[in-house]
A and B are shown apart, each in its own frame.
Chain A
Amino acid sequence: MGRRFLDRFLRPVLMRLVQPLLVALIVGALGFALMAVLPGDQAFRLAAARYGPDMGDAAAAALVRQELGLDRPWAVQFLDWVGRLVRLDLGHSLVTGEPVLQELTMQLGYTLALAGVALPLSALLGLPLGLLAGLQPGGPVDRIMLGLSVLLRAVPAYALGLCLVTVFSIHFGWLPPAGFEGWREFVLPALTLALGLAALSARVARDSVAVVAASPFMAFARWKGLPERAVVLRHGLRNAAIPVIALLGLQLVGLVEGLVIVESLFSWPGIGHALVHAIFARDVPVVQGTALALGLIFVLVNALVDLACALIDPRRARAET
């Protein structure tokens, strides 16, 4: 009883509300700790970031120290730090001195554009193949698809990207290997990202279609006398879509990871690339801002996926197995 209540009702509702705060808390705590372990005086660093490297003298540092209350107990400072994070006051980059929020909005656009191309592309590549394979489990399409999916999922994303660059940019010279001027620059990063995601979605679509196609409710729908079109559209599609949509949540983890890798590989000016660069440069405010942005996108889209699942599947309030 208690467990069902916990799983069915309390947890999903509570978590949806708490998760963004949790993300802010975790990212904030790690960012705060990172700032504290950086060598040198924090006030100097922040002053340099704010007023430019030439102006980072003792007076400026004292001003910053007083303004940010860096002499207060660390617990108070931490709460203050997280509080500012929750209000989306992300501070300034230690490297460029620009406000992090401003940089983020620009990078976010690039990242969303890349994801916006890659996700539909992966659906276009993976779902039809999975559908065909699932209609004839054990058939030739199924076996080829299974082999491809297993092989593709074992290739590291960076190696896949490098292969594509080698073939399409270096060998054939069709597409630019990096940059972000026009649609041609989209092709290789998006394809790298999409292939990895498609390998998984094809498998899930295949299993889901195979299960639904063999299910007694599809047989009964035919026995009722419904025309095949109605059988597939009214009964097959929705039931087969449930696991595929639930998978989107899982895909999201892959998408965020893939974005970091692919953006770094192709020097794509998005959030993932910025995060990796900021870690190199130990630019804590940027690390924190980009991680927060990626985390919040993740939470938001996850919530949307759950909502979609609950809408088409009356059996569960959320996508939980």
Chain B
Amino acid sequence: MRTLAPGRRLGLLLIVSLLGFGLLGPWLAGTDPAHQILAHSLAPPGADYWLGADHLGRSMLARLAHATRLSLMLAAVTVASAAIPGTLLGILAAWRGGWVEGGLVLVADAVLALPGLLLVLLLAAFAPGEFLPLYLGLALAGWVEYFRVARAMASGLLARPHVEAARLLGFGPGYVLWRLLLPGLLPTLGVLAAFGLGSAVLAISTLSFIGLGIHPPTAELGSMTTELLPYAYEAPLTVLMPAALVFMAVLGCHLLAGRGRA
């Protein structure tokens, strides 16, 4: 493992702390995120509620922690579902060429004909407020990027002398794939995935904010903002918290990705 640049280290730190918050938060809060005590509506941060309570008197700490974990997990699953098939198909296309490549490129171009969010929205229309269409839409729109990058890079690598040299030295396709291609692709794909993670967190919370993502009462960072918005005067800090967490998560992902990509 080579040392990370300071900016990327900061990004990693942010993500790890948010993950820690998501995992440990519910335990720290000691209460269910759905547990309402109306008398404590909009309670300010204090000894009982470390981060205060929302309009229904639910613990913000518990809700934020659940929401953070949900966002990061869903984003990670989405990115993995886009990155792994995308990469493998990209390598397959570069390797086989011919009609396999032509067909895959055509499918990728077809997906690119629509902006990603539109695809997600159309799928979300089938069952607004549920996980599955959101996940499917994000993964379906996301794999193309990995496919295109993996295909372009793998074509370049396969044409390089060191791959030819390996074949001449008696190495089989397995060696070329695992020891020459994948290690060459991974750094770039890692950057792509870190960016993808940020975009997914952003997309999930944004869709939930406009009511097309995950619906209340499930705690979700975007929909929490919508829910709390009417109380912006009484408890401005509480309203800010969910959006601030989205900001931190996305910032962490972008920093982790580094400045290699604009």
- With A26-B110, A287-B122 as known contacts, state yes or no: A150 contacts B206, CB within 8 Å: no
**B155 located at the interface, meaning its Cβ lies under 8 Å from any Cβ of chain A in the complex:** yes
How many CB-defined contacts (below 8 Å) exist between A and B? 128
Cross-chain contact A156 with B205 (CB below 8 angstroms) = yes
Could you tell me the distance between the alpha carbons of A261 and B116 in the complex, rounded to whole angstroms?
14
Could you tell me the distance between the alpha carbons of A33 and B247 in the complex, rounded to whole angstroms?
36
Q: Is the interface of A mostly helix, strand, loop or mixed?
A: helix
Residue of B nearest to A21 (CB): B113
**A315 located at the interface, meaning its Cβ lies under 8 Å from any Cβ of chain B in the complex:** no
**A279 located at the interface, meaning its Cβ lies under 8 Å from any Cβ of chain B in the complex:** yes
Cross-chain contact A203 with B262 (CB below 8 angstroms) = yes
Q: Is the interface of B mostly helix, strand, loop or mixed?
A: helix
Interface string of A1-38 (1 = CB under 8 A from B): 01100100001000100010011001100110110010
Cross-chain contact A279 with B110 (CB below 8 angstroms) = no
- With A19-B113, A150-B255 as known contacts, state yes or no: A6 contacts B102, CB within 8 Å: yes
Interface residues on B, range: 35 or more
Interface string of A228-258 (1 = CB under 8 A from B): 0000000000000000000100001100110
**A88 located at the interface, meaning its Cβ lies under 8 Å from any Cβ of chain B in the complex:** no
Cross-chain contact A207 with B262 (CB below 8 angstroms) = yes
- With A6-B102, A158-B225 as known contacts, state yes or no: A291 contacts B210, CB within 8 Å: no
Could you tell me the distance between the alpha carbons of A224 and B237 in the complex, rounded to whole angstroms?
61
Cross-chain contact A6 with B101 (CB below 8 angstroms) = yes
Cross-chain contact B121 with A291 (CB below 8 angstroms) = yes
Cross-chain contact B114 with A23 (CB below 8 angstroms) = yes
Cross-chain contact A276 with B225 (CB below 8 angstroms) = no
- With A150-B251, A156-B205 as known contacts, state yes or no: A260 contacts B243, CB within 8 Å: no
**A295 located at the interface, meaning its Cβ lies under 8 Å from any Cβ of chain B in the complex:** yes
Cross-chain contact B209 with A279 (CB below 8 angstroms) = no
- What's the nearest-Cβ distance from chain B to residue A183, in Å? 26
7 shortest A-B CB distances, which residue pairs?
Answer: A154-B251, A159-B243, A154-B250, A257-B117, A256-B115, A203-B262, A279-B125
**A–B complex contacts, Cβ < 8 Å, 13 sampled:** A34-B122, A154-B198, A154-B251, A158-B222, A158-B243, A162-B225, A253-B115, A256-B118, A279-B121, A291-B118, A295-B113, A295-B118, A298-B113
Q: Which residues of B pack against A, CB within 8 Å?
A: 97-98, 101-102, 105, 109-110, 113-119, 121-126, 128, 152, 155, 198, 202, 205-206, 209-212, 222, 225, 229, 232, 243, 246-248, 250-251, 254-255, 259, 262
